[in-house]
Amino acid sequence: MGDTRTIAIDGMGGDFAPQAVVDGLATFARERPGTRFILFGDAAALKVLLDQHPDVRERTEIRHCERAVAMDDKPAQAVRQGRGTSMWDAIQAVKAEEAVAAVSAGNTGALMAMSKLILRMVPGAHRPALVGSWPTANGVSAVLDLGADIAADPGQLIEFAIMGVAFAHAVHHKPDPVVGLLNIGSEDLKGHEAIREAARLMRRSNLGFRFHGFVEGNDISAGTVDVVVTDGFTGNIALKTAEGAARMISDVLRAELNSSIASRLGALVAMPALKRMRERLDPRRVNGAVFLGLNGVVVKSHGGADGLGISRAISVAADMGDSRYRSELETNLSHLARIMETQAPEPQSEEAAK
């Protein structure tokens, strides 16, 4: 791996664009000197910001775009009027193979819809899934779908598992990730039929990954498995519920530590420990969700990310771009298609046997 690659970046996406985007680009560029960038957006504004980072300037090509997608644009509207926006052009650069991946902190729905339209699905994948990195007691896990779609049938859940394993290989550098299906109990009798059927298929077939079985909500943060598979409705609720609980706890901690002179003093003495805790739990560290299943890599940064957060999302794009993700996905999805054919419902098998 020669550490050379080009990444396309939507310079206008996110709450703090373009400043945070350029800061993130510069931070990442210094960590990985072999990377080149194509930065899409308002050329004049981007040039002023980029000129503050002369060491990065020469590795970055600015391409002017007249327009940008607003954070509150409706996805359908954003797609119809998408041509010429910084988001559209960044994805288009992946399609044209000018860049190995695109990164945007912009409107999630618009990014998803544009990515599907421009890049199309990988052969064998039926729906994209949004995967994210979740901090756990022993490191990090991949959780998907975080909200690309609201439902998933058994075959799609297995596709998500295959995609999540490829992501865990590429971004978490785990050689042999273990997959779990999110459910409300560990017994086979519980949960929706789609989940139970997916579990039966994963137990019965060799799909090229280790299947743990069902996991419950508390297993996500415990790090019981490396890849947590669920439908996009449940995954989105789980992610936002955990974020909300974490914010509440850290607010209570801050308020109580500020509540008296003694506790402020104690917090001061324990500051290095509290700082390490904050760093371990810092959501910016795991920023960068990926739309999986497309003919090309698109990374979604949190809209509120600052420069550090954006740099992590770019790092996810680089890891995905460097990996065997695409060929792994195609191989395993075509293997899955063959397995699903032999698992066809009884009447069809009888027909075929005649």
- Residue ranges in contact with a second copy by CB under 8 A: 135-137, 147, 150-151, 182, 184, 190-192, 216-222, 230, 232-234, 236-253, 256-257, 259-260, 262-263, 265-274, 276-277, 280-281
Q: How many CB atoms lie within 10 A of CB 271?
A: 10
Helix, strand, or coil (residue 209): coil
Whichever of 46 and 78 has its CB closer to a second copy, that residue is 78
Whichever of 44 and 137 has its CB closer to a second copy, that residue is 137
Min CB(99)–a second copy separation in Å: 30
Rounded distance between C-alpha atoms, residue 83 and residue 170, angstroms:
31
Min CB(171)–a second copy separation in Å: 20
Whichever of 87 and 148 has its CB closer to a second copy, that residue is 148
Whichever of 14 and 135 has its CB closer to a second copy, that residue is 135
Min CB(291)–a second copy separation in Å: 16
Min CB(160)–a second copy separation in Å: 16
Whichever of 139 and 208 has its CB closer to a second copy, that residue is 139
Min CB(122)–a second copy separation in Å: 25
Rounded distance between C-alpha atoms, residue 234 and residue 198, angstroms:
16
Min CB(227)–a second copy separation in Å: 16
Whichever of 152 and 333 has its CB closer to a second copy, that residue is 152
Tokens coding 45: 């504004």
Q: Nearest Cα to 107, choosing from 133, 88, 131?
A: 88
Q: Nearest Cα to 17, choosing from 91, 75, 85, 80?
A: 85
Give how far Cα 84 sits from Cα of 41, 70, 249, 303, Å: 9, 13, 43, 21
Min CB(190)–a second copy separation in Å: 8
Rounded distance between C-alpha atoms, residue 203 and residue 138, angstroms:
26
Neighbour-count burial for 54-76, b at 16+ CB within 10 Å, e otherwise = eebeeebebbebebbbeeebebe
Whichever of 236 and 295 has its CB closer to a second copy, that residue is 236
> Does an H or E element contain 82, and which?
none
Is the dihedral angle over the CA atoms 219, 223, 229, 231 positive or is it negative?
positive
